[in-house]
Amino acid sequence: MKNIITAFLFLIFYQTGVAQSYIPTIKNNTVLHYVCKLHGQTRTLSLRAQTSEDKLTFKLETRGVKSSIVMLGEAVKNGNALSFNQGEYAPELHLKPTETFFMISQSAYGDLLKNSSFLYNNTQYVLDKNQDKNGVFIEGKLIDALHVIAQIDQTEMWIVKNPQFPLICKITKNPLGINFTLVGVVDQVN
């Protein structure tokens, strides 16, 4: 009887843990809220997604800076470089066909699942198979993410398990001094 009760309690706690897992998605007008650490300063940043078949635009807002960062559909599918532009140079910035912003490409995500690694910005990132103790939580729910570590420096990224939009929900130890964490996702109706 004791074993049955123990097993029952385990299943209840396991189901509670599984139910608390969260996979953010991007739809038209989804707003992503991040906290960014930029060279020792902390600032909030919001990205409003504008989706279409041939591009994904993030309307960026942070400390009075407003800019639209435009990724081509080609980059969303097959990009191999991450842009760290902060929206300060143009009201509308069109990234190169190889660049993504706050996400990796679908093909890089596919490589990560298939090979436990991917190449971005000429840096090999490898899946960390250890239990992640530094995951990202939004409203008490753990984001279901893959933790990767760069092989040439100490950069770590947490990538949402979403093959359509593999968002970077957290980046730490970035040698560029630009680290960020996703703190909120709001789906807004236009």
Domains of the chain: 24-187 (2.50.20)
Note whether 148 and 126 are within 8 A (CB): yes
DSSP 103: B
pLDDT 10s digits, 153-176: 999 999 999 999 999 999 999 998
Note whether 146 and 161 are within 8 A (CB): yes
2-16: average pLDDT: 48
Q: How far is CA 92 from CA 66, 86, 164, 179, in A?
A: 9, 12, 24, 23
Q: Strands 92-94 and 65-72, how do they pair?
A: parallel
Task: Output phi, psi for 38, to 5 deg.
Answer: -115, 105
Note whether 135 and 78 are within 8 A (CB): no
% residues pLDDT > 90 (the chain): 69
Question: What pTM value is reported for the model?
Answer: 0.86
> What's the pLDDT at 190?
57
Using DSSP, state whether 137 is helix, strand or coil.
strand
> What's the pLDDT at 12?
47
> What's the pLDDT at 136?
92
Residue 20 has pLDDT above 80, yes or no: no
28-48: average pLDDT: 93
pLDDT 10s digits, 64-107: 889 999 999 999 999 999 998 877 667 899 999 999 999 999 99
Residue 16 has pLDDT above 50, yes or no: no
